[in-house]
Amino acid sequence: MRQIRQSLKLKDVRYDVRGPILVEAQRLEAEGHKILKLNIGNTAPFGFEAPEAIVADMTRHLSGSQGYVDSKGIYSARTAVAQYYQSKGLKDTTVEDVYIGNGVSELISMVLQAFVDDGNEILIPAPDYPLWTGAVSLAGGTPVHYRCDESNGWNPDLADIESKITENTHALVIINPNNPTGAVYSPQIVRGLVDIARRHDLVVMADEIYEKIIFDDAVHHHAAKYAGDDVLCLTFSGLSKAYRVCGYRAGWVMISGPKHLAQDYLEGLTLLANMRMCSNVPAQHTIQTALGGYQSIDELIVPGGRYHDQIKLASRLLNEIPGVSCVEPRGALYCFPRLDPEVYPIEDDEAFVIDLLRAKKILVTHGSGFNWPEPDHFRLVTLPDEDVLTEAIGRIADFLETKRS
């Protein structure tokens, strides 16, 4: 038989958090090594349990949910999402504006497939959660990265965004709270981003999956609120991170703004939703339970809570390593430290991560995997408990000692 090759569509598509670095980690595991995987934000392996009510709901609905449902999602889940945003001041949100998907991941791809024509430019932060860049490329678009400024708390550089807008620019992606940097944007920044979209007639795509994972005095501001009724805004969130059920695959996108101008687009989105029938039905039933009632996430993000204490500890320990600096994350589950190139002259950050993996049996992700243009960052997941984190960062420090110029 002839060689079977991947399609040309995949030419520019990358997703490094599970790429060659993970293959190498799995190879080492097969050799019998124990690898500490700090490459993905997966809560379950680190002893986080989902709220009991969510698990009970999932279990209860296993037997009764064998059938397909509405491809946009079951009514109770969509109502719960609509009401959630209403309670946040988005009073015009209705059940019709919500699509439920197999996690935010599926929806990012669907939304872009329905939206992007060949050569359309989509503004995406650098660093980004790399699914955005990969999904834009896969849809035939051109990802255009705007710079987030490390020296300014990783805030998006609004002037850089303006300078990159062309007549082909169609949308602006906002990731807030940000993965990988942990930045949580002030109202001024969110307003500034949305105003750029307003001035240039861009659709806003706001990935807010970490909206409930914010620390200290950080407050999350929904882009949709600033987008109002004149900027089309797609808001993404889900249960994976705040409710610790990434494996259930439950997420949503909520459409707000001038929906009457987007009817054609929304028909396309519904077509794609129809073509994949529906998302995991038992998991959809847990959405209403998750969004209503007691929010156990609140215990994890305050001092004494694991999300809070671990991320603070990790950021402090990283900053204690000579030549390493880490802007203190204000949200999400990651540290994104910088390795001073004068101290650590790294040319290939993926090779650096693989060296670290082989030497210290710890898997982190290289900064270029998040479309960061210089080989001087890596991302560390802060989900292990404090003892494991301390041990892991100690091993990283020992490894860095051997790499100093």
Residues binding ligand PLP (CB under 6 A): 41, 103-105, 129, 175, 179, 207, 209, 238, 240, 246, 251
Q: Which is nearer to ligand PLP, 41 or 321 (CB)?
A: 41
Our CB check for ligand PLP shows the closer of 246 and 353 to be 246
Instruction: Confirm if 94 and 78 have CB atoms less than 8 A apart.
Output: no
**Closest distance between ligand PLP and the C-beta of residue 359, in Å?**
27
Smallest distance, Å, CB 120 to ligand PLP? 21
156 versus 238: smaller Cβ distance to ligand PLP: 238
Percentages helix, strand, coil for the chain (3-state, rounded to 5) are 45, 15, 40
Are residues 281 and 74 in contact, defined by beta-carbon separation less than 8 angstroms?
Answer: yes
Cis geometry, peptide bond prior to residue 303 (ω within 30 degrees of 0): no
* Min CB(221)–ligand PLP separation in Å: 16
To ligand PLP, the closest distance from the beta carbon of 402 in angstroms equals 31
Give the nearest distance from C-beta 188 to ligand PLP in angstroms.
22
CA-to-CA separations, 49 to 42, 59, 123, 200, 315, in angstroms, rounded: 11, 15, 36, 44, 24
| Selection from 237, 223, 163 nearest residue 195 by Cα | 223
To which residue do tokens 């889900």 refer?
Answer: 238
In three-state secondary structure terms, 85 is helix
User: With left for phi above 0 and alpha for psi between -120 and 50, is residue 293 left, alpha or beta?
Assistant: left
Can you tell me the distance from the alpha carbon of 37 to that of 58, in angstroms, rounded to the nearest whole number? 27
User: Which of residues 223 and 321 has its CB atom nearest to ligand PLP in the complex?
Assistant: 223
Phi, psi dihedral angles at 173 (to 5 degrees): -95, 130
Question: Three-state SS for 346?
Answer: coil
- In the bound state, the residue with its beta carbon closest to ligand PLP is 103
Of 238 and 282, CB closest to ligand PLP: 238
Q: How many angstroms separate the CA atoms of 95 and 82, rounded?
A: 6
Shortest distance, position 205 Cβ to ligand PLP, whole Å: 11
**Nearest distance, CB of residue 405 and ligand PLP, angstroms:** 33
CB 206 within 8 A of CB 234: yes
